[in-house]
């Protein structure tokens, strides 16, 4: 929350802003939003690339393995089963309105609905295996030994089975890559990854940071406790409090979405204050798109409301203006790609390989590749 006014030595109470010139305020605000944004070189890992867009004809390859693609596959199989039996095996509700938990229940019960889901799983596994092989042929993916599959799809039994089936197909084709799912809950991965991007010196003085994960369907904000002093690799970092907003159903404007994020962050800061959690004056924001060093977004935000690539829009500055201080410190906001951040949540668990990648299955298919500075195998020699 914004810090309270402080008393001057003469006993009068004035806001800090009143004692600064407009020039000083602008310089201070600029310092808080300088970043670094979209950082690619970290002490223990380099981010080799992200948001790779491969095409097959007029379509992006990655779109064939998105959560949206799975829903289309399931729709197609529902029509097939309906034509054969004269009755939709999954009832009258549109596929998009059937939640993950409900699909898992249908799969467990067996019968025509389960058969349709299994057929869609098989189709999806083929597509995910194909997409993985296509990415592995690109120069930025050369030498990748492990691919982490994140996003919300793997959080369901339906999704996990489909991903495991894709891993089996890759093994049968003797593709030298291991397919694994994210360690963290899908709602947490894109928040936890920020502990590996935040300034280490800052983390050492506080218990936690604030993190934001902006997606095409949901926005998640959370308090991420680092546990840095117990586990220096931050493998025990966790989200202790989270706010989630399914903004897509409300169709907010861009500025309304930013305002909603600020509201969630203020709730989280109130929670931290109540529970004695020392939150650093740092907000890590993950969102789709190509992130520029100055904090602007160059492309890839088509699933977000409004124009996020406008020259007049600067998300870090907007957040700093609306939430200027956290505790006694000026708020620092850093921006990075959502797939990159989610992948970094796996950093402590990928130390046995040199090159690895992430695929995030959501509204679209996010991707990023990494190279570790060293590995446990190399360190043991």
Q: Are residues 224 and 299 in the same domain?
A: yes
Question: If phi over 0 gives left and psi between -120 and 50 gives alpha, with beta otherwise, what is residue 246?
Answer: beta
Taking 80 as the threshold, does the pLDDT of residue 348 lie above it? Answer: yes
Taking 90 as the threshold, does the pLDDT of residue 16 lie above it? Answer: no
What's the half-sphere exposure (Cβ side, CA atoms, 13 Å) at 29? 19
Bridging pattern class, strands 45-50 and 365-372: antiparallel
Q: Using CA atoms, how far apart are residues 67 and 27, in angstroms rounded to an integer?
A: 43
Q: Are residues 293 and 275 in the same domain?
A: yes
Residue 111 resides in a domain: yes
Q: Are residues 325 and 270 in the same domain?
A: yes
pLDDT in tens, 85-142: 999 999 999 999 999 999 999 999 989 999 999 999 999 999 999 999 999 999 999 9
Q: Are residues 138 and 249 in the same domain?
A: no
Q: Are residues 165 and 80 in the same domain?
A: yes
Residue 283 resides in a domain: yes
Q: Are residues 332 and 193 in the same domain?
A: yes
Residue 338 resides in a domain: yes
Taking 70 as the threshold, does the pLDDT of residue 316 lie above it? Answer: yes
Which residue matches tokens 């002490």? 43
- Report the predicted TM-score, pTM, of the whole model to 2 decimal places: 0.87
Q: Are residues 108 and 172 in the same domain?
A: yes
Q: Using CA atoms, how far apart are residues 15 and 346, in angstroms rounded to an integer?
A: 42
Short-list 299, 339, 349, 363, CA closest to 135: 339
Q: Are residues 213 and 154 in the same domain?
A: no
Q: What is the pLDDT of residue 363?
A: 79
Taking 70 as the threshold, does the pLDDT of residue 18 lie above it? Answer: no
Residue 356 resides in a domain: no
Dihedral over Cα of 15, 18, 20, 24: its sign: positive
Q: Are residues 101 and 120 in the same domain?
A: yes
Taking 80 as the threshold, does the pLDDT of residue 281 lie above it? Answer: yes
Instruction: Answer with the residue of higher pLDDT: 1 or 271.
Output: 271
Measured in residues, the chain has a length of: 381
Residue 72 resides in a domain: yes
| Residue 35 pLDDT grade (very low, low, confident, very high; cuts 50, 70, 90) | low
Residue 359 resides in a domain: no
Number of domains the chain contains: 2
Q: Which two tokens stand for residue 372?
A: 């570790």
Q: What is the pLDDT of residue 329?
A: 86
Q: Using CA atoms, how far apart are residues 129 and 170, in angstroms rounded to an integer?
A: 6
Q: Are residues 81 and 155 in the same domain?
A: yes
pLDDT in tens, 219-246: 999 999 999 999 999 999 999 999 999 9
Q: Using CA atoms, how far apart are residues 236 and 250, in angstroms rounded to an integer?
A: 35
CA 170 remoteness from chain centre: 25
pLDDT in tens, 260-275: 999 999 999 999 999 9
Residue 377 resides in a domain: no
Domain containing 298 equals: 22-38+186-344
| Number of helices (H), then strands (E), in the chain | 11, 16
Residue 249 resides in a domain: yes
């Amino acid at each position: 929350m914004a810090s309270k006014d402080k008393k001057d030595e003469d006993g009068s109470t004035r806001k800090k802003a009143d004692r600064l010139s407009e020039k000083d305020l602008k310089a201070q605000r600029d310092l808080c939003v300088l970043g670094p944004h979209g950082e690619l070189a970290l002490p223990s890992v380099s981010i080799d690339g992200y948001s790779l867009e491969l095409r097959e004809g007029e379509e992006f390859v990655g779109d064939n393995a998105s959560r949206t693609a799975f829903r289309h596959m399931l729709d197609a199989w529902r029509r097939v089963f309906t034509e054969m039996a004269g009755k939709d095996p999954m009832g009258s509700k549109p596929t998009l309105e059937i939640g993950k938990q409900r699909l898992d229940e249908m799969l467990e019960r067996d019968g025509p609905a389960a058969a349709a889901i299994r057929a869609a799983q098989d189709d999806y596994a083929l597509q995910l295996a194909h997409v993985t092989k296509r990415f592995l042929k690109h120069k930025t993916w050369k030498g990748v030994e492990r691919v982490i599959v994140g996003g919300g799809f793997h959080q369901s039994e339906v999704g996990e089975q489909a991903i495991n089936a894709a891993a089996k197909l890759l093994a049968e084709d003797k593709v030298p890559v291991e397919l694994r799912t994210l360690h963290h809950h899908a709602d947490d991965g894109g928040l936890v990854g920020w502990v590996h991007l935040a300034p280490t010196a800052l983390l050492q003085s506080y218990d936690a940071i604030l993190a934001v994960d902006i997606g095409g369907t949901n926005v998640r904000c959370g308090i991420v406790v680092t546990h840095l002093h117990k586990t220096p690799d931050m493998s025990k970092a966790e989200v202790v409090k989270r706010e989630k907003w399914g903004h897509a159903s409300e169709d907010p404007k861009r500025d309304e979405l930013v305002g909603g994020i600020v509201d969630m962050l203020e709730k989280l800061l109130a929670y931290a204050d109540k529970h004695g959690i020392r939150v650093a004056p740092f907000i890590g924001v993950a969102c789709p798109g190509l992130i520029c060093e100055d904090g602007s977004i160059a492309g890839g935000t088509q699933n977000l409301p409004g124009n996020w690539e406008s020259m007049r829009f600067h998300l870090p500055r907007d957040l700093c203006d609306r939430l200027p201080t956290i505790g006694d410190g000026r708020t620092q906001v850093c921006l990075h790609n959502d797939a990159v951040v989610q992948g970094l949540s796996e950093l402590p668990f990928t130390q046995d390989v040199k090159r690895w990648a992430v695929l995030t299955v959501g509204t679209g298919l996010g991707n990023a590749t990494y190279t570790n500075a060293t590995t446990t195998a190399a360190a043991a020699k």
